[in-house]
Amino acid sequence: MSSTSLSSPAVGTFTPEAFAAHLAAQPAHAPAWWLERKRTAHARFAELPMPGPTDEGWRFSSRETLTLAGFVPSTASAATGAAVPLLLSVEQATAALTFCDGRLVSRQALPADLAARGVVVGTLQEALRSHPELLREHFLSQPQKLGSEKFAALHAAFVNDGAFILVPKGVEVRDPIVVTHASSGAGTAVFPHTLVILEEQARAIVVDAFLSPDAPTPVGARAGAFACGANDLYAGHGAQLTYVAAQRWSLDTLSFQLNSTVVRRDARVQSLNLHLGGRQARHESLSQLQAPGAFSEMLAVTVAGDTQEFDQRTLQIHQAPHTKSDLLYKNALLDRARTTFSGLIVVDPDAQKTDAYQSNRNLMLSDDAEANSLPGLEIQANDVRCTHGATSSRIDPQQLFYLEARGISPAKARELLVFGFFEEVLDRLQHEGLHESLRQLIATRFH
């Protein structure tokens, strides 16, 4: 029994009719496998139930607010670049792509020398023609293990376009490649995607920015917007990827962001997630350390204010010996915000000499805020070093007084102390200009 009624809460806006319209809008050059994957994904999406009260992967998450109804899939929207808010300005970008409501609206081309060396900063739609085999191999090809199978399927069914970034063997791209995914908001559903492939010994910095203008109405006053994004990061042998995802959706957005990172031999991936926007924002991050010498550094900074809810689920899988992962997620909670961090380190039986670390730190700035922490370990090898921990702390009143005694207002003093709390994370980002851009973006949550 697979038929689904049009008004089913399990599909909401994303009905078979809406999907048929989406498929019909795919370009003529779209290969059969692309369309077939979409069909399979939509069937899977419709078939899977919404997260239920006993789903372990959704412990502490609000489920009654996970509505799929009332949004307009991005296929129906006529996107223009006009609505894109410029909240993140990254100077000296090597190349840039800007999508609004799932359509490319502007681009800054790569310098000629990098293009000549085979670097590609393009769209998924372009890659369907130029790099179909690479796309097929890497696009949404990793398992979903953290609870959002349904939303991953929804993304796969409705994703229209996104970034396709390829850095060939031995090429280094020094300055950031910046991808902006904007939503015009007001009931829009978007499915941002970024695929990054770094071949052997390649290096790059990629920034994903997720932006939409804040609605003038208060949070919760209307259905809001919907964002269901995913990324695939692949670091080949000896490659070094720095990846920043800066999420500053409007405060009425329901957001899912599903990350997959594959780290090959001697490769290193540093990912930093900035969680700032959204009414309810769930982030799932999977790092697979597949060969010796692989290192994944997983960082996140969250400012949770108003009645925002942030839900972070992470998985560090050590599949080979001599692999390393280091996770540090820091949340600052204000007002009546809620956060949930659930992290698991898995060490496979032959992944000896694994070095894994996981830490979640919460700074509570309000008595009405709530931080949940669920750290976990699953170790099947016997010669490993795994540590994890979670802490919650408050602003130190002595520090606050010290700042105030210098003439700094209590509000500004709190902001400084929150930035101080985040600095340990931001400081790990080597690129100075990027660091400053992110600080400015974080500051938008305080003014």
User: Where on the chain is the footprint of other proteins (CB under 8 A)?
Assistant: 396-399, 401-410, 412-413, 416-417, 419-424, 427
Q: How far is the CB of 403 from other proteins (least distance, A)?
A: 7
Alpha carbon distance 38, 258 (integer Å): 17
Q: How far is the CB of 392 from other proteins (least distance, A)?
A: 17
Please give the structure tokens belonging to residue 185. Answer: 């908001």
- Is 431 in a helix, a strand, or coil? coil
Q: How far is the CB of 314 from other proteins (least distance, A)?
A: 23
Please give the structure tokens belonging to residue 214. Answer: 């804040």
Q: How many CA atoms lie within 13 A of 94 on its CB side?
A: 23
Closer of 217 and 409 to other proteins (Cβ): 409
Pick from 135, 137, 98, 130: which is nearest to 115 by CA?
130
Please give the structure tokens belonging to residue 202. Answer: 């390649």
Q: How far is the CB of 417 from other proteins (least distance, A)?
A: 7
Q: How far is the CB of 201 from other proteins (least distance, A)?
A: 32
Q: End-to-end alpha-carbon separation of the chain, Å? A: 52
CA distances in angstroms from 384 to 266, 270, 319, 322, 355, listed in the order given: 18, 22, 13, 9, 6
Closer of 55 and 424 to other proteins (Cβ): 424
CA distances in angstroms from 305 to 329, 336, 337, 408, listed in the order given: 17, 7, 5, 22
Closer of 103 and 445 to other proteins (Cβ): 445
Closer of 17 and 447 to other proteins (Cβ): 447
Closer of 105 and 408 to other proteins (Cβ): 408
Please give the structure tokens belonging to residue 341. Answer: 């961090």
Q: How far is the CB of 38 from other proteins (least distance, A)?
A: 45
Q: How far is the CB of 398 from other proteins (least distance, A)?
A: 5
Alpha carbon distance 186, 215 (integer Å): 8
Strand partners, 196: 165, 233
Closer of 52 and 407 to other proteins (Cβ): 407
CB 284, CB 314: distance < 8 Å: yes
Closer of 67 and 444 to other proteins (Cβ): 444
Q: How far is the CB of 331 from other proteins (least distance, A)?
A: 15
Closer of 387 and 409 to other proteins (Cβ): 409
Alpha carbon distance 378, 113 (integer Å): 46
> Inter-axis angle of helices 32-47 and 16-24, to 10 degrees?
170
Please name the amino acid found at residue 17.
E
Closer of 60 and 419 to other proteins (Cβ): 419
> What length is written for the chain?
447
Closer of 6 and 406 to other proteins (Cβ): 406
Q: How far is the CB of 427 from other proteins (least distance, A)?
A: 8
Measured in degrees and rounded to the nearest 5, phi and psi for residue 339 equal -135, 150
- Is 267 in a helix, a strand, or coil? coil
Burial class of residue 446, CB neighbours in 10 A (0-12, 13-18, 19+): middle
CA distances in angstroms from 290 to 134, 241, 261, 268, 323, listed in the order given: 19, 16, 10, 12, 8
Q: How far is the CB of 286 from other proteins (least distance, A)?
A: 29
Q: How far is the CB of 423 from other proteins (least distance, A)?
A: 3
Please name the amino acid found at residue 422.
F
Closer of 190 and 299 to other proteins (Cβ): 299
Q: Which long-range contacts (CB under 8 A, 24 or more apart) does 38-42 make?
A: 38/156, 38/157, 41/153, 41/154, 41/155, 41/156, 41/157, 42/14, 42/16, 42/153, 42/157, 42/158
